[in-house]
Structure 1
Amino acid sequence: MNASNALLAAPLLVAALLPLTAQAETITLTLSQEQDGGTAGRACMYIHQGQAEYRVVKPDEICPATLIVESPTHRA
């Protein structure tokens, strides 16, 4: 493959692989439960579609009411 063919092939390869890259959607989760862990901090739990997201904050902080996460979208 000469240099000009390589220059033409690179954009085609990128265009062919673009549909395979993971796309993400932004989801806002609301606080489901929190637990005081004393000096270890507070455990914050957010539930979405049967899965939990956990965050730990300092003992003197409160859990955020919402949490924004990115979730991969599924393409058929």
Structure 2
Amino acid sequence: MSLVLRSTVRAARSARQMQVRSLHVENKVDKLMLSRTIPGGNKALAIKVVIYGSVGLSLPFIATKISQDKARGN
């Protein structure tokens, strides 16, 4: 059997095995208890995520500005 044919057969077998596997999750409000596990609730988390994202996005621009100012001698 050629190398190409073997790898094709192997890929077909693994694809068949992947289709057989499945996962079933039931999301119930009583079992999730998200408000109890996150301190401060969802509003505080949303504010923290926005702050984290805006600081992370602005840092490269701030570093570039500082670098350009140093190159100019300011």
Task: Provide the TM-score with structure 1 as the length reference.
Answer: 0.34
Instruction: Please identify which structure carries the higher helix content.
Output: 2
Structure with the bigger RCO (C-alpha within 8 Å, sep 6+) is 1
TM-score by length of 2: 0.34
Q: Which of the two has greater strand per residue?
A: 1
Give the number of the structure whose alpha-carbon radius of gyration is greater: 2
